[in-house]
A = this chain, B = another copy of it.
Amino acid sequence: MTMGLCKKNLPVRGKYKDISEKKCYREDGHEGECKEFPYLSDLSVSHPRVTNKIKRDATKTTGAAWKSEDAGPNRIDRWVMLQSDDVLKNYGLDMVALKPGVVAKLREKAATYDDCMDVAARLTLLAYQMPDAPPCPADTRTYLESRFSPMVEGSTTCIVCKEPLSFSLFENAQRGKAEIETAHSNPREHNQNNVGFAHRECNIAQGNKTVEEFYGWISGILDRIDRT
């Protein structure tokens, strides 16, 4: 079932290029040019904002909402955060100068390049499986199904509340905040088995708990108010 992938190294640009990587994720032995996100070619045309969100959430740390000396860098590749303080200092990022809370938050978001790329593909599958998602082009469907599992239309639910998630919520924004967020069953891990989408309010309610911890917590609350 699992497809072989090209994984040819592609040129990396930017400040952190020596400690970064970029690979082709087309199928092994493909014809034509290498591509990092081949399965997003169509969505990037029809829904560029959703596409950018998937790429960003899969590969970047969340950044500080404001700019200040100790607030930390805004959106940095998650795999860069795997490097030691010493290495990062060579690239102009002085982790020791940041607030401990900021450092903890950044380090918590660290993930390998390969895990991030798996996450991006998995999020794309989940987006296409939303009840009102745009139709998935045949080649993308074949690609995603051979990397994961047969696509079940309309099957994507919020990983917290388990209600179906509408694709249209990607476009809705209230006070500048998207109503769908990329979420993690365990907020301290970032890999394909651990990610999904959640309603913004569900993701906020989950907080730093794992989804299992969250269920245990709310179950305890209902026990105390004698509602179960």
Q: B224 near A163 (CB under 8 angstroms)?
A: yes
Q: A219 near B215 (CB under 8 angstroms)?
A: no
Bound form: Cα–Cα A128–B84 in Å? 47
A193-213 near B? 1/0 per residue, CB < 8 Å: 000000001001101100000
Q: Residues of B contacting A221 with CB < 8 Å?
A: 160-162, 215, 218
| Distance in Å: Cβ of A151 to nearest Cβ of chain B | 22
Q: Residues of B contacting A217 with CB < 8 Å?
A: 161
| Distance in Å: Cβ of A226 to nearest Cβ of chain B | 10
- Residue from B66, B207, B224 within 8 A of A205 (CB atoms): B207
Q: Residues of B contacting A201 with CB < 8 Å?
A: 207-208
What interface size band does chain A fall in?
20 to 34
Is A220 among interface residues, defined by CB-CB distance under 8 A? yes
Q: B175 near A220 (CB under 8 angstroms)?
A: no
Bound form: Cα–Cα A101–B177 in Å? 11
- Residue from B161, B207, B218 within 8 A of A204 (CB atoms): B207
Is A227 among interface residues, defined by CB-CB distance under 8 A? yes
Is A228 among interface residues, defined by CB-CB distance under 8 A? yes
Is A1 among interface residues, defined by CB-CB distance under 8 A? no
